Amino acid sequence: MSDSTVFTAADPDEVHRIDDLDENVDIYAASGAQSDGRVFNAVGGDWEDIVGEVGSRPEERIVVNMGPQHPSTHGVLRLILELEGETVTEARAGIGYLHTGIEKNMEFRTWTQGVTFCTRMDYVMPLHTETAYCLAVEKLLGITDQIPERASAIRVLMMELNRITSHLVCMGTGGMEMGATTVMTIGFRERERILSVFEMISGLRMNHAYIRPGGVAQDLPAGALQAIRDLIPEVRKGIHELELLMLENPILKGRMVGVGSLDLTGCMALGITGPMLRSAGLPHDLRKSAPYCGYEKYDFDIPVRHGADAYDRLCVRIDEMYQSLRIVEQVCDELQNNPGPVMVEDKKIAWPAQLAVGPDGMGNSLAHIKEIMGTSMESLIHHFKLVTEGFRVPPGQAYAAVESAKGELGCHAVSDGGTRPYRVHFREPSFNNLQAVSAMCEGAQVADVIVAVASIDPVMGGVDR
């Protein structure tokens, strides 16, 4: 409701028309009080007639704030909607309510400690952000070709599992916002299976800081590959359950087909990537067009649809989860047959990767602790300097991008030759994709705004950072 529009309601037994009363008199205001704007006294009559009379005055608009704390805005997103009745005439996104200063804080930490910050940006797909950052740092160091194959394979494994969890959150929360609570419970049930594997491998369910410059923090623990193999058919069954529940549901199709449309021209003009772009018919995916971490070795397809609406984005995400499971199966076979190091050999860069997960979390292996504490003063000094001061990165700048669950996620890292980044900036797909709110929502109904925003799948931690 705008500041210039005030509605009052009188005794329903008193039948008056709007025009019968002075528009500038609030019949419920205190004696002598003045209204800030025009007053519409709605007294008796049918609500549709009242709204129709108000809507007949083109200079009058109702402005509604949807958020920043609203159950259907995917976090603290604020949408400023200008309405004519139930029709959205203007939609704007207000951001910044979750600003954490992550990019600035990274300038005051070592290059390795930066992973701990960027993993908290888009907390739904942290492993993609960690990988993009580490790839940029490795470019600056000139060690891209020295990353062990096993480390790259583990990165792919973790990212594809993370892609599935991100899509499950998108569909689960989007379904809940439309009243389909079963979609939420099934989606989060399958997500929990994968988060248990993440906890087994990294020690944490979220905010892992597992992918490090030079490789990964530690190798897969015993039993991890078998746990993943056991997980795949269960998750595939759960995805199929969601598919059966959603795709041919007439209520869901009525809410999503033709809603939030943004064609290929609009996507290209706004720099939209990810499932939104592929739902408009363009099979653009960095895993194919600019492979990284060895993606060129794996056999998978790029799902594409052509409806460019919320329903087709849902279909693309479901298809992508099946493709991610295909990749995970191939990576498991590769890791089974190819043991090896998981951290670059250069000891001036490599953090200790001989870690073990115990009841107290992660820590150095007992053999490593015994060496640095008992038999080698040089190892102890090196360990101390590497962890407290960090390694130096040659001056320069580099950009690395990955295909995250939401689109192109890029990291631009700048070094002045020190042990800390001079500047780190991320191309966060949620931020770019959120530009489409106006194009997707204006001219639609208020209820369609919820569906359109859910189909973008923004995470405000990544938008504001």
The rounded distance, in Å, linking the Cα atoms of 245 and 267 is 29
pLDDT for residue 160: 95
Regarding whether 129 and 80 lie in a shared domain, the answer is no
Alpha helix locations (H) across 290-352?
310-337
- What's the one-letter identity of residue 418? G
Regarding whether 307 and 191 lie in a shared domain, the answer is yes
pLDDT for residue 33: 66
**Within-domain flag for 266:** yes
pLDDT for residue 368: 67
Q: How far is the CA of 399 from the CAs of 37, 119, 132, 201, in angstroms?
A: 52, 18, 9, 28
**Which of 85, 76, 12 shows the shortest CA–CA distance to 465?**
76
**Within-domain flag for 273:** yes
Regarding whether 458 and 421 lie in a shared domain, the answer is yes
Collapsed DSSP state (helix, strand, coil) of residue 221: coil
Regarding whether 304 and 219 lie in a shared domain, the answer is yes
Regarding whether 138 and 28 lie in a shared domain, the answer is no
End-to-end CA distance of the chain: 30
Regarding whether 108 and 253 lie in a shared domain, the answer is yes
**Within-domain flag for 372:** no
User: Which residues, listed in sequence order, are joined to residue 211 by a DSSP beta bridge?
Assistant: 216
pLDDT for residue 327: 95
Alpha helix locations (H) across 360-434?
366-370, 377-388, 429-433
**Within-domain flag for 376:** no
Burial 398-427 (b: 16+ CB within 10 A, else e): bebbbbbbbbbbbbbbbbeeebbbeebebb
**Which of 413, 394, 361 shows the shortest CA–CA distance to 134?**
413
pLDDT for residue 12: 43
The rounded distance, in Å, linking the Cα atoms of 154 and 160 is 10
The answer to whether the CB of 212 falls within 8 A of the CB of 349 is: no
The answer to whether the CB of 153 falls within 8 A of the CB of 159 is: no
Task: Collect the ranges in the chain with pLDDT lower than 70.
Answer: 1-60, 352-368, 371-372
* Count of CB atoms situated within 10 Å of the CB of 354: 16
Structure tokens at 47: 């609500």
In Å, how far from its chain's centre is CA 450?
Answer: 17
Range of the domain at 63: 5-94
Regarding whether 154 and 58 lie in a shared domain, the answer is no
The rounded distance, in Å, linking the Cα atoms of 134 and 443 is 43
Regarding whether 180 and 116 lie in a shared domain, the answer is yes
The answer to whether the CB of 433 falls within 8 A of the CB of 456 is: yes
pLDDT for residue 50: 59
* Count of CB atoms situated within 10 Å of the CB of 104: 12
- Which of residues 55, 76, 94 is at a domain's end? 94
Regarding whether 51 and 186 lie in a shared domain, the answer is no
Regarding whether 137 and 29 lie in a shared domain, the answer is no
Structure tokens at 139: 């470019």
* Count of CB atoms situated within 10 Å of the CB of 90: 15
**Within-domain flag for 455:** yes
Regarding whether 158 and 76 lie in a shared domain, the answer is no
- Residue with the two structure tokens 């609570």: 181
- What's the one-letter identity of residue 148? P
The rounded distance, in Å, linking the Cα atoms of 434 and 41 is 38
Report the number of distinct structural domains present in the chain: 2
pLDDT for residue 32: 65
pLDDT for residue 93: 87
The answer to whether the CB of 320 falls within 8 A of the CB of 275 is: yes
pLDDT for residue 16: 42
- Which of residues 73, 94, 115 is at a domain's end? 94
Structure tokens at 328: 């995970």
| Non-local CB neighbours of 171 within 8 Å, separated by 6+ positions | 183, 187, 242, 246, 314, 317, 318
The rounded distance, in Å, linking the Cα atoms of 303 and 317 is 8
Size (the chain), residues: 465
pLDDT for residue 276: 93
- Which of residues 36, 59, 94 is at a domain's end? 94
**Within-domain flag for 370:** no
**Within-domain flag for 361:** no
Regarding whether 449 and 424 lie in a shared domain, the answer is yes
**Which of 356, 271, 252, 359 shows the shortest CA–CA distance to 312?**
252
Instruction: Tell me the residue ranges of DSSP E strands in 85-164.
Output: 87-94
CATH number at residue 274: 1.10.645.10
**Within-domain flag for 365:** no
